[in-house]
Structures are given as C-alpha cells and as structure tokens.
C-alpha cells in the first residue's frame, strides 16, 4: 500500500478530543451544518422499529429522566467494530460542565485510508416541554432530512456531504427525543485514498442503528420518582 500524505481535513479530525474538551457542551446541538446538502433517498430514515424505543411519559411535561446515562456504554462493541473499524470499543467521554444532565462519548479511527467518526450525546431537560423545545430547535438547524418513526417519542435524521481540499466527508445526524431527554448521534466517514465519502444509505443506516441503541440506553437515567 502506497504512502499518501494526509490532507488537512484528516489532521483536523484526528485532534478533536482536546478541542471538544475546551468547547464544553458544543456537541449538544450536533455538528455544524455542512456546506453541501445531499438530496439522496430518505426511505431508510423512515423504517419503523419500536423494539428499543423508551415509552413516553404518562403525565404531560413530567420529567422521566433525572440523570444522563453513560453514552460510552450505550453502543455495543460489535456496532462500534462495524461502524468505526479500528476504534476502541470503550470510546472516550468528553468532559462536560454538568455531567448529570449532559454527556457525550466519541469513537474515531483511521483504518487503512478509511476514517470514521461517531458521537453519542445525551441531554436531560427539566421537563418534557423543555426537551420538546430543544429537539425542535436542533431539528430546525438541519434541513433536508426526514422523521424516523418508531424511535423514541420524536426522531429526525439527515445526511449531508461536505468537501474540503477535494476530500469528501459524508455526515449523518440523528436526533431523538424521549420524554425529557434528547439524544443526538453523529456518524461520518471519509476515504483518503479515493477522496470519496461513504454512501448516503450507509451513513444514514449506521447513525439510526446507533440512535436505537442510545435510546435504549436511557433506561439507566430514569428518575426514581418518574412514571412508567
């Protein structure tokens, strides 16, 4: 395999942990919207699957979750191995100013010339209404996507393509709300040999798969006084 110089885009992605640690909870709103949107098919974003979705709060506005669970424990090792080849299954939790209500875990690795990045974030609001508002605000910043039925109480998925120094990166974001909790999953990939990015379907399905696991992981953050 020939040696290739790594582009600036890779250098920027290989040193995110220190940057994110300084940025605090910048991830709670998901990644910045890429410059170029992909208008690919969205059928995969609407595949219903309620097997891992947490139930809704029975009382309107009730806070079912009091603490954010461990995001690094939310994704099975087999899923990490499949979606982020070469990454350590344990992931790395990003420091938060308030880990009781905001937590994020990241996995990233360069495997050959293929680079993948995965983030899972939890944010616990004081009430379901606050979580609804947070969810809607985040969705409003991500155009061109679609709903994901069967995932939490509300879920939205979008995939975008960005190009820097002729290097493509495709990024999928899935946002889901369950009662007073908001889950954000970001999954991206690049190939530094071909300069191309993985397909829309691959990124979208990967992000949704992780989101289902992350929503299921909310069980560990339920409030002892919450209903359901």
In the chain, where the domains are located = 8-221
Closest to 112 in 3D by CA, of 85, 91, 92, 89? 85
Residue by residue, pLDDT tens for the chain (228 residues) are 444 444 444 444 444 433 333 333 333 333 333 333 333 334 333 333 333 334 444 445 667 999 999 999 999 999 999 999 999 999 999 999 999 999 999 999 999 999 999 999 999 999 999 999 999 999 999 989 999 999 999 999 999 999 999 999 999 999 999 999 999 999 999 999 999 999 999 999 999 999 999 999 998 565 543 333
What's the CA gap between 145 and 172, in Å, rounded? 10
Query: How many of the other CB atoms lie within 10 Å of CB of 193?
Result: 12
What's the CA gap between 115 and 40, in Å, rounded? 22
pTM above 0.75, yes or no: no
pLDDT, tens digit (0-9, with 9 covering 90-100), for 126-170: 999 999 999 999 999 998 999 999 999 999 999 999 999 999 999
Question: 172 in helix, strand or coil?
Answer: strand
Cα 45 to the chain's mean position, in Å?
14
Strand partners, 202: none
Report DSSP state, residue 66: S
Cα 114 to the chain's mean position, in Å?
19
């Amino acid at each position: 395999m020939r040696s290739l110089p790594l582009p600036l885009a890779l250098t920027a992605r290989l040193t995110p942990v220190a940057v994110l640690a300084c940025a605090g909870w910048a991830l709670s709103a998901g990644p910045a919207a890429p410059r170029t949107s992909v208008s690919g098919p969205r059928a995969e974003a609407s595949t219903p699957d309620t097997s891992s979705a947490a139930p809704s709060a029975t009382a309107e506005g009730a806070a079912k979750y009091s603490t954010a669970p461990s995001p690094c424990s939310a994704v099975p090792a087999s899923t990490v191995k499949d979606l982020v080849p070469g990454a350590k299954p344990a992931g790395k939790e990003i420091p938060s100013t308030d880990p009781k209500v905001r937590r994020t875990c990241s996995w990233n690795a360069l495997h050959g010339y293929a680079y993948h990045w995965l983030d899972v974030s939890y944010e616990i609001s004081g009430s379901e209404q606050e979580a609804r508002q947070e969810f809607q605000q985040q969705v409003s910043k991500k155009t061109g996507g679609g709903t994901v039925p069967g995932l939490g109480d509300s879920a939205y998925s979008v995939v975008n393509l960005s190009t820097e120094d002729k290097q493509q990166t495709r990024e999928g974001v899935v946002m889901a709300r369950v009662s007073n909790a908001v889950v954000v999953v970001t999954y991206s990939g690049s190939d530094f040999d071909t300069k191309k990015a993985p397909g829309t379907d691959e990124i979208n399905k990967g992000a949704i798969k992780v989101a289902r696991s992350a929503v299921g992981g909310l069980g560990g953050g339920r409030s002892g006084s919450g209903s359901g």
